[in-house]
Amino acid sequence: MDKNTASQTLTDIMAKFTAYIGKHLPTDVSEKLAELRAAETNTLASAVYSSMAENQELANKLDRPSCQDTGVIQYFITAGSDFPFLGELEESLRNATLVATKTAPLRHNAVETFDERNTGTNTGDRVPWLDWEIVSGDDGVTIDTYMAGGGCTLPGAAKVLMPGEGYEGVTDFVFDVITNRGINACPPLLVGVGVSTAVETAARLSKKALMRPVGSKHPNEKAAKMETLLEDGLNEVGIGPQGLTGNASVMGVNIESSARHPSTIGVAVSTGCWAHRRGKIRIAADLSYEILSHKGAQL
């Protein structure tokens, strides 16, 4: 396949996929919301869960973005070093965003900083935002596409703790962010926590944590235990859907971590709203693709 044809094919696939994820929640999130709805005993919270379910049905039926805030588009790319169209990806993803903005349609959410002008295209300086990881020897590419609205972006926070504060300090930080600022971010939330060295390494990991499925576990036993403790603990607080109180607060807590400097513990929290619109797609070297996040999805 020549590079021009490949660019067009990549653009076409990713434009359709980007539009798709704005209208349909991933399977793990839908299942979790159904589970929380079934277990809810608070009347007001149950009514809110019903509105949420009705909304997703309508979005599907009317083919519209389920939430009006379709975010600044982010692509987390895990690229095989042997993927033949690595050089075409960036431009294709930019074009995919342009196309999806018109076809979906997406809300115009790219404001050039300092000029304070909305570009009207969802593209701008370094937007859509790309995050890259390279996998040696693989000839395909996996792309996590994410649209986070302003509401669930606002609580995001990062801090560097002294080692004396330990994981106890991490616990305090997570609870502070979620119980003070998470309430307005459309709970039940998926909570992403990064534990690392510095603000930016922890912050990136906290966002990567949101790409992991609801219910998945950190491979380290202690980290996995902490995920469960935080999830159960936050649920005990009973924030409920939209912060109106209820049986649960979160869909889950996902921790991602790296080795750290002995003198610091970088911690960050990112939140995904209940309408956690992300999708994972795997594109092969011949540009055939498989959607991994949404069961039975057709583009």
CB of 23 to other proteins, least distance (A): 9
- Candidates 71-79, 89-97, 107-115, 196-204 — which segment interacts with other proteins by CB under 8 A? 107-115
CB closer to other proteins out of 3 and 102: 102
Does position 236 bind other proteins by CB under 8 A? yes
Of 296, 13, 284, nearest to 145 (Cα)? Answer: 13
> Both tokens of residue 51?
């509105």
Q: Give the burial class of 133: count Cβ atoms within 10 A of its Cβ; 0-12 exposed, 13-18 middle, 19 or more buried.
A: exposed
Q: How far apart are alpha carbons 262 and 264 in whole angstroms?
A: 6
Give the total of residues touching other proteins (CB under 8 A): 58
In the complex, minimum distance from the CB of residue 84 to other proteins, in angstroms, rounded to a whole number: 36
Asked if 285 interacts with other proteins (CB under 8 A), we say no
Minimum separation from the CB atom of position 32 to other proteins (A): 15
Token pair in block for residue 103: 């076809």
Q: For 90-248, where are the E strands, in sequence order?
A: 111-112, 117-118, 129-135, 141-148, 157-161, 189-196
Where on the phi/psi map is residue 245: left (φ > 0), alpha (ψ -120 to 50), or beta?
Answer: left
φ, ψ of residue 74 to 5 degrees: the values are: -120, 140
Instruction: Tell the smallest beta-carbon distance from residue 91 to other proteins (Å).
Output: 26
* Integer Cα distance of 243 and 258 in angstroms: 32
Closest CB to other proteins among residues 106, 283: 106
Nearest approach, Cβ of 126 to other proteins (angstroms)? 20
Q: Which is nearer to other proteins, 60 or 81 (CB)?
A: 60
CA distance 160 to 190: 22
Whether omega for the bond prior to residue 188 falls within 30 degrees of 0, making it cis, is yes
For the chain, helix, strand, coil in percent to 5 are 45, 25, 35
Q: With H, G, I as helix, E, B as strand and everything else as coil, classify residue 155.
A: coil
- Is 87 near other proteins (CB under 8 A)? no
Q: Which x/- pattern over 112-141 shows residues binding other proteins (rule: CB under 8 A)? A: ------x-x---------------------
Positions 138 through 197 that interact with other proteins (CB under 8 A): 149-151, 154, 163, 166-168, 170-172, 175, 179, 183-184, 186
Site residues (CB under 8 A) for other proteins, limited to 241-270: 241-245
User: Applying CB under 8 A, does 226 fall inside the site for other proteins?
Assistant: yes
Part in contact with other proteins (CB under 8 A); list of ranges 4-12, 106-114, 205-213, 288-296: 106-114
CB of 94 closer than 8 Å to CB of 18: no
Between 30 and 245, name the residue whose CB sits nearer to other proteins.
245
- With CB under 8 A as the contact rule, the residue among 62, 136, 259, 263 that binds other proteins is 62
Q: How many Å apart are CA 55 and CA 64, to the nearest integer? A: 10
> Which positions touch other proteins (CB under 8 A)?
44, 47-48, 51-52, 54-55, 58-59, 62, 64-70, 105-109, 118, 120, 149-151, 154, 163, 166-168, 170-172, 175, 179, 183-184, 186, 222, 225-226, 229-230, 233, 236-239, 241-245, 273-275
